[in-house]
């Protein structure tokens, strides 16, 4: 048997089973057209060899990592253009994984860990994205114009050792945010910004938002960019947070709903989809009950209708202790306490992500406001409003969320007429960029919003 070092590219179509179930002949025709017009010519242009195809997937060998990555980027950019006028639920989007490794050649087929790692990298790539191994990344340094984002060590299925993974940043949304301000009815100044293109989507503010830092953050950026790819995303900083006024007299559910009303009126949106995350779900529910005529869809992620202080005596005591620690340690240079909260919010974060989130907490709000916000959120109860929500609703929750138990999400969904509930894999309260939950999240909301 022959062995050699090669760059291996593995690709498949995200959500292929769903596409085939919806329109088998149309999906096959689309895929064939994309291959003939774009994929196969680009592989030939970059001197690749198609080893085999498997329905929606393919395995390609390159002599050079640079050629493999250039080919992948050209294909993904080309697919972006070809999908521009296709509805979100009918788009064919490729996931690509690239690895440099030792392979075994047998009758024109290839085997070995070099191939297996590429296939597993493909599996964690976002739709339209490219993941590469450390071995491949090291051969790209200073040879290509785009950058790579380090995702850290990942445990890939059936691969004995963790693999250091990078994401190729070839097509990030380029924006210069224009941050604007409006005033709530009690005079509090609220900061807001609009990004992206497509139908209007408003994100309800939640704790620890900052319009500038969130867009740059390894914790929030992938979510915001993903939403802005297909929608015109409006978001704002809650009172007491970010670029909105910190020194405020009132922090309450009523004030937060009023702030959402103020922002959407300032932007001038008549009807829109509303997205709430974490405690933003309770605010979104209250707004939906009050203004059903303004909403086309409601998306609730990682949230609850009943605050933690009211869910159990144990959780109440835990939150009481954390509130005390917030007042004492939130604003200090020592991140020890903030790390305690970070470990609940994103337990599977890399050190870089955890350090950024530790620092983000201090930059977004004051110790006193953080403690006030935390206490009021813990006492929220919008259960009586759930039956009043009359708009199509999608509820998503990470299965092993340490900060907000999945049962809280299930109970919230059960109370909303006709709501659909989706359990996502993972432990992080906010899923990170290349978790399996990320691809599923965007697939589900794109489908939901296309109806």
Residue 1 has pLDDT above 80, yes or no: no
Helix (H) or strand (E) holding 326: helix 313-329
Pairing state between β 2-13 and 94-106: antiparallel
Q: Where in the chain is the domain with CATH 3.30.70.1230?
A: 2-169
Pairing state between β 295-301 and 200-203: unpaired
Q: For 395-411, what is the mean pLDDT? A: 96
Q: Where in the chain is the domain with CATH 3.40.50.1820?
A: 180-449
What percentage of the chain reaches a pLDDT higher than 90?
A: 61
* Residue in the structure block whose two tokens are 């070995």: 112
* Residue in the structure block whose two tokens are 């869910």: 311
Q: What is the pLDDT of residue 387?
A: 98
| Confidence class for position 142, pLDDT limits 50, 70, 90 | low
Of 204, 276, 188, nearest to 239 (Cα)?
188
Residue 151 has pLDDT above 80, yes or no: yes
pLDDT tens digit sequence for 249-283: 999 999 999 999 999 999 999 999 999 999 999 99
Residue 155 has pLDDT above 70, yes or no: yes
Q: What is the pTM of this model?
A: 0.72
Q: What is the pLDDT of residue 344?
A: 85
User: In this structure, what token pair is assigned to residue 76?
Assistant: 């993904």
Average pLDDT of the residues of the chain: 90
Residue 173 has pLDDT above 60, yes or no: no
pLDDT tens digit sequence for 312-353: 888 888 888 888 877 777 766 667 767 778 888 899 988 888
| Topology of the domain covering 2-169 | Alpha-Beta Plaits (3.30.70)
CATH of domain 180-449: 3.40.50.1820
pLDDT tens digit sequence for 208-255: 899 998 988 888 888 998 898 889 999 999 999 999 999 999 999 999
Q: What angle do CA 32, 35, 38 make, to 5 degrees?
A: 140
């Amino acid at each position: 048997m022959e062995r050699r070092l090669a760059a291996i590219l593995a690709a498949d179509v995200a959500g292929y089973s769903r596409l085939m179930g919806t329109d088998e002949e149309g999906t096959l025709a689309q895929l064939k057209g994309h291959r003939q017009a774009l994929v196969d010519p680009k592989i030939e242009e970059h001197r690749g060899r198609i080893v085999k195809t498997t329905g929606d997937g393919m395995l390609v060998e390159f002599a050079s990592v640079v050629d493999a990555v250039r080919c992948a980027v050209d294909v993904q950019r080309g697919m972006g253009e070809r999908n521009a006028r296709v509805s979100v639920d009918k788009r064919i989007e490729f996931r690509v994984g690239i690895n440099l490794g030792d392979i075994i050649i047998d009758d024109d087929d290839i085997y070995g860990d070099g191939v297996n790692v590429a296939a597993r990298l493909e599996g964690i790539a976002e739709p339209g994205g490219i993941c590469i191994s450390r071995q491949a990344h090291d051969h790209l340094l200073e040879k290509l114009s785009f950058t790579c984002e380090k995702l850290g060590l990942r445990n890939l299925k059936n691969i004995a050792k963790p693999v250091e993974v990078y994401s190729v940043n070839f097509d990030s949304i380029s924006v210069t945010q224009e941050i604007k301000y409006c005033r709530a009815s009690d005079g509090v100044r609220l900061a807001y910004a609009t990004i992206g293109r497509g139908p209007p989507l408003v994100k309800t503010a939640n704790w620890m938002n900052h319009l500038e830092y969130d867009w740059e953050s390894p914790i929030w950026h992938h979510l915001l960019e993903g939403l802005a790819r297909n929608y015109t995303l409006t978001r704002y900083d809650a009172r007491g947070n970010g670029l909105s006024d910190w020194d405020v007299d009132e922090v309450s559910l009523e004030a937060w709903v009023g702030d959402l009303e103020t922002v959407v009126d300032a932007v001038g949106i008549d009807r829109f989809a509303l997205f709430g995350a974490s405690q933003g779900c309770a605010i979104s529910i209250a707004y939906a009950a009050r203004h059903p005529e303004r909403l086309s869809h409601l998306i609730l992620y990682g949230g609850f209708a009943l605050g933690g202080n009211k869910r159990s005596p144990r959780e109440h005591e835990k939150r009481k202790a954390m509130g005390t620690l917030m007042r004492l340690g939130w604003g200090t240079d020592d991140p020890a306490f903030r790390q305690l909260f970070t470990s609940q919010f994103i337990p599977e974060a890399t050190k870089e992500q955890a350090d950024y989130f530790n620092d983000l907490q201090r930059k977004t709000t004051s110790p006193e406001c953080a403690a006030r916000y935390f206490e009021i959120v813990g006492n929220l109860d919008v259960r009586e409003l759930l039956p009043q929500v009359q708009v199509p609703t999608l509820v998503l929750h990470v299965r092993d969320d340490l900060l907000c138990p999945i049962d809280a999400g299930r109970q919230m969904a059960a109370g909303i007429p006709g709501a659909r509930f989706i359990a996502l894999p993972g432990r992080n309260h906010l899923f990170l960029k290349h978790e399996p939950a990320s691809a599923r999240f965007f697939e589900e909301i794109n489908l939901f919003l296309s109806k």
